[in-house]
A and B are shown apart, each in its own frame.
Chain A
């Protein structure tokens, strides 16, 4: 049913008769038909993706402000000014560093936890496994924005249940504790939300991958006296590696583009310490009407992200070639 299962394309080589006029004509239509079929998709992608991408780059070399937006005049050209402004600004570098640090921490934690949960699912009783699956499915299905609202409510300073529970610990006073005054705590909440919401995808994909690891191999290793750590390192992980690469790359792409979670948790007005590249570009463009500056930041973001995308595209392309 899925790409994985589809049979390899072993087309028997067609007998090659003399190329008649008719055969040649059919050949030409063989090329024309698939291009015609793909044309609508390509046109739409060009109009609403490629062209905006081009416009974004052009815009980043101009200075588009509210005045140009309203009058429709061509904004003045400023060359690399937006870029030098961004790259020479400590605030911008702070945002880059924060986004990168968040990505590294959140991806590391989610992938390690996801892998542990996947391994745990292979060890527990079947009924426990079903319960874990159901729990994760509900979390996964929850829209990001709803999940963020749920965390906003859990960590509310006055009525949040988190403060209430922590306050129960003897000697700890957490009544009316505000989680977002101290950025370390605020980022811990954001990270917890991102990890919590990301684990289902990771754990379920990886546990599906683990079923591909031959049981006989692991059992033989155990009989031969290998520790579980050795089996994991030398048998399971190498087999899981392609899948791990993909899910890790996807996590990097998603978490690097962090927007919804800190946007919702900070009521749509993230303070400077809660800005990431996405929210920064957005607030600069639509909050401050610095459309060109926002574009320059978006271009830099895309370039940074592209480094990561290469891995993903390579892996996916390999799969695309198989069938």
Chain B
């Protein structure tokens, strides 16, 4: 990781200072990880050990019962499937629709371009929770409450601004000379799109869809408001399960782990993009 040390100041640094810094860094890392560790630790403990007034820092009798019990919950598997369906619909729609708008912003100079950019950025900041009341009324009138499509539609809007903004970045990263060369070679605009821009945006599409997946997978207030218990996703299941029957901590923590696995894995795959997407160019700005 020598690359990381580039740009690190070396003048005027004392040894004790470095030792102190290293120690602080390690303690900080451990403190950050502790709650995560505690969830894992609990998930593998049998109920008797979870309900012990003297917590054990490593499960004395590790067991998978909590995972079995969570998976065996009546609504767990349906919630997982619902979540996957809703997420897939929302992400797919956001990619198709968002890509077109991103293409327009990145590749065309036209009257109204700035207005579109402004709209896309501004709507990103409308607190969705505030719109929940009218959305609920609209969905009810359209008979889309208690349906997966209704929730997917709302999620689509949730994902769309970020999708447009990020894909725009990826498309502008493709040199225009490629487009022009292809056009000189006789390609039409649609051909340039299919043969050059779309393939080269592949990684961007993957990154964006993973981000969309995380967003949609993590949401629970909208779905909890629009749908009945049978039509929830896993996040809403986590919340519902806690209130309905007191808290069975072991299965809840196991459920929390199962729920987070796809998010954690995907997140770690695209973590560089998330930070860049949110603050793109801010340093230069």
Contacts and interface: CB of A to CB of B under 8 A. Distances in A.
Q: Are A and B subunits of one complex?
A: yes
A74 to B, nearest CB: 12
Q: Is the interface of A mostly helix, strand, loop or mixed?
A: helix
A3 B19 CA distance: 38
Contacts of B25: 120-121, 124, 128-129, 131-132
Given A196-B35, A215-B7, A323-B172, 20 more contacts: A2-B173, A3-B168, A41-B100, A41-B160, A42-B101, A49-B131, A69-B137, A120-B25, A121-B25, A123-B13, A126-B1, A129-B4, A138-B32, A143-B263, A146-B259, A153-B42, A247-B282, A264-B239, A282-B221, A294-B133
B196 interface: no
B281 A51 contact: no
A166 interface: no
A205 B4 CA distance: 15
A200 B133 CA distance: 32
Contacts of A44: 97, 156-157, 160
Interface in A141-171: 141-147, 149-154, 156, 158-159, 161, 164
Given A150-B38, A285-B133, A317 B121 contact: yes
Contacts of B108: 30, 33-34, 37
Given A52-B131, A53-B131, A56-B130, A45 B123 contact: yes
Interface of A: 1-7, 9, 11, 30-31, 33-35, 37-38, 40-42, 44-45, 48-49, 51-53, 55-56, 59, 64, 69, 72, 117, 120-126, 128-132, 134-147, 149-154, 156, 158-159, 161, 164, 175, 196, 199-201, 204-205, 208-209, 211-215, 218-219, 222-223, 239-240, 242-243, 246-247, 250, 253, 257, 259-260, 263-264, 267-268, 278, 281-282, 285-286, 291, 294-295, 298-299, 301-302, 305, 309, 312-313, 315-323
Interface string B158-176: 0011001000111011011
A149 B242 contact: yes
B112 interface: yes
A135 B282 contact: no
Contact of A201 (B103, B153, B221, B275): B275
Interface stretch (B46-54, B61-69, B70-78): B46-54
What range describes how many residues of B lie at the interface?
35 or more
Interface string B203-240: 10000000000000110110001000000000100110
B169 A2 contact: yes
B268 A40 contact: no
A138 B11 contact: no
Contacts of A291: 133, 137
A151 B256 CA distance: 12
B182 interface: no
Given A30-B110, A35-B110, A125-B22, A151 B282 contact: no
A189 to B, nearest CB: 12
B194 interface: no
A60 B263 CA distance: 37
B279 A246 contact: yes
Closest 9 CB pairs of A and B: A34-B104, A141-B267, A55-B134, A3-B169, A298-B130, A34-B108, A135-B29, A37-B104, A41-B101
20 contacts: A1-B173, A6-B172, A30-B110, A41-B100, A59-B137, A122-B8, A123-B13, A124-B21, A125-B18, A139-B32, A140-B271, A142-B264, A150-B35, A150-B38, A159-B249, A215-B6, A257-B127, A268-B242, A286-B136, A309-B125
Nearest to B266: A141
B112 A35 contact: yes
B232 to A, nearest CB: 12
Interface string B246-277: 00010011001001100110011001010110
A247 B283 CA distance: 11
Contact of A1 (B112, B170, B249, B252): B170
